[in-house]
Structure 1
Amino acid sequence: MKIQGKMFIWLSAFFLIMAVVYGVWSKEPAGTTALFLAFGLSIMIGFYLGFTAKRVDAGAQDNKEADVADDAGELGFFSPHSWQPLALGVGGALAFLGVAIGWWLLYFGAPLIMIGLWGWVFEYYRGENRTQ
């Protein structure tokens, strides 16, 4: 995880340099703002990955002599049959479409987002998977 953090820190330095160069050269505010926002996002991701890398064991990607097979195994638990991402995707699409078409679409998108988020957070706390 350490190498990914360094990659994002270097990417944020690139975005910062390009934002300054683009802003001075083009004097176009939208692209300059987008590049500065990309700088902010990549510095946040890089800081998070570097911060987390100090608290977890070194992975195979941090070892220069590691083979591809050294990183094999279980990556985590992922819900195999969850419908909640679909509800979140449709709700998010309607909400962002509401910005372009009309704010009234938020009345349809916001409940779908809330239902999908609630269902995703609590999908393992009902039925036979509920804790006693």
Structure 2
Amino acid sequence: MKIQGKMFLWLALFMLVMAIVYGVWSKEPVGTTGLFLAFGLSVMIGYYLAFTARRVDAGAQDNKEADVADDAGELGFFSPHSWQPLSLGLGGAFAFAGVAFGWWLVFVSAPLLIIGLFGWVFEYYHGENRTQ
């Protein structure tokens, strides 16, 4: 994780330089603000990754002598057959399209978002006192 943190911090430095150069040359506030916000987001992600890298064991990506096979193994649990991301994606797409086409589309997309969110959160929940 150390290398990812350094990459984001270098990216943040690049974004800061570009924001200053762009702001001085163009005098355009929207693009300059966007670049400064990108700088801030890169700093936050880079700091989080660098901070977390100090608390966890070094991974294979942190060892310059490591092979690709050294990082093999289980990375976590990923649901193999979940339909909930599709519902969330469609609901989110309709909600954002509602900004352009009309706010009524946001109200139409709300049930898709709610169904997708609750379905994803409670997908593997079977109750506390279930005997099966």
On whether the aligned pair clears a TM of 0.5, the verdict is yes
Tell me the CA shift for residue 131 of structure 1.
Answer: 4.9
Q: Are residue 105 (structure 1) and residue 124 (structure 2) matched?
A: no
Query: In 1, Cα distance between the equivalents of 2:42 and 2:70?
Result: 28
Matches within 5 A, 1:1-132: 1-126=1-126, 130-132=127-129
Query: In 2, Cα distance between the equivalents of 1:36 and 1:111?
Result: 35
What SS does the aligned partner of 1:54 have? helix
Aligned residues: 129
Query: In 2, Cα distance between the equivalents of 1:102 and 1:45?
Result: 34
Query: What code does the residue aligned with 2:98 have?
Result: G
What SS does the aligned partner of 1:124 have? coil
Tell me the CA shift for residue 52 of structure 1.
Answer: 1.4
Query: What code does the residue aligned with 2:32 have?
Result: T
Query: What code does the residue aligned with 1:6 have?
Result: K
- Identify unmatched segments of 5+ residues in structure 1: none
- Identify unmatched segments of 5+ residues in structure 2: none
User: Which runs of structure 1 show a deviation greater than 6 angstroms over 4 or more consecutive aligned residues?
Assistant: none
TM-score by length of 2: 0.91
Query: In 2, Cα distance between the equivalents of 1:34 and 1:109?
Result: 28
Percent identical: 78
Query: In 1, Cα distance between the equivalents of 2:56 and 2:118?
Result: 30
